Amino acid sequence: MSQLTDPFGRDISYLRVSVTDRCDFRCVYCMSENMTFLPKADLLSLEELDRLCSSFIDLGVKRLRLTGGEPLVRKNLMVLVEALSRHLKTGALEELTLTTNGSQLTKYAADLARHGVKRINVSLDTLEAAKFRAITRWGDLAKVQDGIKAAQDAGIAVKINAVALKGVNQFEIPDMIRWAHGEGMDFTLIETMPLGDIEGDRTDQYLPLSQVRADLMDEFTLDEIAYKTGGPARYVTVKETGGRLGFITPLSHNFCESCNRVRLTCTGQLYMCLGQDDMADLRAPLRASDGNELVMGAIREAISRKPKGHDFIIDRDHNRPALARHMSVTGG
Ligand code: SAM
Ligand code: SF4
């Protein structure tokens, strides 16, 4: 057990850190085309991010995931990754990992592997170049595919995450499963979540995974398995491909009861729940002294108010973001 147990008895052992709110893509479900980003002066420095992460590790956090925005567009991110890898060497940290859009992986895969990153998640919603451009607005599919290859060549296990989008990639999902499993990668489907204003109608995008799963069963045999990564995904194996398929269903199935995570933004705000507005500012206690005692006290206090769960809803009556905050702030 870590030293961080919330009021509902959940042990907090997993920290997700958004190292930047910026991104080189503008995915339609995540950002508007003209996003206003935080002034660079508001960001925590890499040293401050290291101090914060190390405080969480001292309190018993075992898994750390860097995310964003796009984590690999944060300048000198490898300096942070290398610094954090010291906790892997001591065994205090069990896993250091990353969620990325893959666009910069050809450049960084070897460094990530060298610093002890053993698996990463790459977000990819389609294998059709034109559709990929339409979803990401700015992305280049070939670059991402090269990035995935570079990660695998460096010995990093890749899991593909795809957001299920009604009428967009809905009918491509079986092909994507065959592709991912054929390349030795797990594949996880995510439901869209109502976070942030995006210039569009979310009820148009929302595709319940219960429906996807039912459709997949026309083509595949899905066997329930107990496999867990400490995250909210539920896994099955696909008999025909031999690969693993995960479902993350925040809307149609509530997974809060086993939530073991909290999320840190690049300005030092700690969100105890992705689906609630309550947060704790860790930047002030971090900057108030050179030691980490104050910030560790603030972390403990924050965990003592982790809420029981979220209340996301997407339907015709609630066609507004449930939260004004974009996913790129808290990193998903
Ligand atoms: N840029 C990186 C990436 O795309 O993997 C990391 C950050 S991104 C915010 C993390 C994940 O959140 C991605 O898999 C993305 O598809 C997902 N995401 C973004 N907005 C979402 C939304 N409104 N609903 C569900 N998933 C979303
Ligand atoms: Fe960028 Fe990831 Fe959001 Fe797409 S999902 S815009 S890649 S942060």
Q: Tell me the residue length of the chain.
A: 332
Residue 291 CA, ligand 1 centroid: distance in Å: 34
Residue 28 CA, ligand 2 centroid: distance in Å: 9
Cα(297)–Cα(266) distance, integer angstroms: 20
Domain count, the chain: 1
Pairing mode, if any, of strands 186-190 and 157-163? parallel
Domain contains 3: no
Q: Are 71 and 24 in contact (CB under 8 A)?
A: no
Q: Nearest 10 degrees: CA dihedral of 158, 104, 85, 280?
A: -100
- Which of 179, 290, 297 lies closest to 238 in space, CA to CA? 179
Domain contains 5: no
Half-sphere exposure at residue 224, Cβ-oriented, CA atoms within 13 angstroms: 1
Residue 288 CA, ligand 1 centroid: distance in Å: 33
Half-sphere exposure at residue 229, Cβ-oriented, CA atoms within 13 angstroms: 22
Cβ of residue 67 lying under 6 Å from some atom of ligand 1: yes
- Which of 89, 80, 20 lies closest to 53 in space, CA to CA? 80
Residues with CB under 6 A from ligand 2: 23, 25-27, 30-31, 68-70, 101, 123, 328
- Which of 146, 77, 142, 68 lies closest to 105 in space, CA to CA? 146
Cα(252)–Cα(254) distance, integer angstroms: 7
Only one residue has tokens 């002030």, namely: 284
Domain contains 281: yes
Domain contains 172: yes
Pocket test residue of 27, 168, 169 for ligand 1, highest count of atoms within 8 A of CB = 27
Residue 332 CA, ligand 1 centroid: distance in Å: 6
| Amino acid (one-letter) located at 96 | L
CB-based contacts of 330: which residues, under 8 Å, 6+ apart?
16, 18, 263, 265, 271, 274
Cβ of residue 195 lying under 6 Å from some atom of ligand 1: yes
Domain that holds residue 202: 14-330
Q: What is the residue with the minimal CA distance to atom 23 of ligand 1?
A: 193
Domain contains 31: yes
**Three-class SS state of 55:** helix
Q: What are the CA-CA distances from residue 319 to residues 200, 278, 291 (Å)?
A: 10, 22, 46
Domain contains 100: yes
Please identify, by atom number, the ligand 2 atom nearest to the C-alpha of residue 163: 5
Domain contains 6: no
Looking at all shown ligands, the one closest to residue 163's CA atom is: 1
Domain contains 161: yes
Q: What are the CA-CA distances from residue 293 to residues 58, 62, 262 (Å)?
A: 11, 19, 19
Only one residue has tokens 């914060």, namely: 52
For each of the chain's 332 residues, which pLDDT tens digit applies? 668 999 999 999 999 999 999 999 999 988 999 999 999 889 999 999 999 999 999 999 999 999 999 999 999 999 999 999 999 999 999 999 999 999 999 999 999 999 999 999 999 999 999 999 999 999 999 999 999 999 999 999 999 999 999 999 999 999 999 999 999 999 999 988 766 666 666 667 889 899 999 999 999 999 999 877 666 788 999 999 999 999 988 665 556 778 889 999 999 999 998 778 889 999 999 999 999 999 999 999 999 998 888 765 555 455 555 666 666 666 66
| Amino acid (one-letter) located at 1 | M
> What CATH number should be reported for the domain holding residue 59?
3.20.20.70
Q: Are 216 and 222 in contact (CB under 8 A)?
A: yes
Cβ of residue 99 lying under 6 Å from some atom of ligand 1: yes
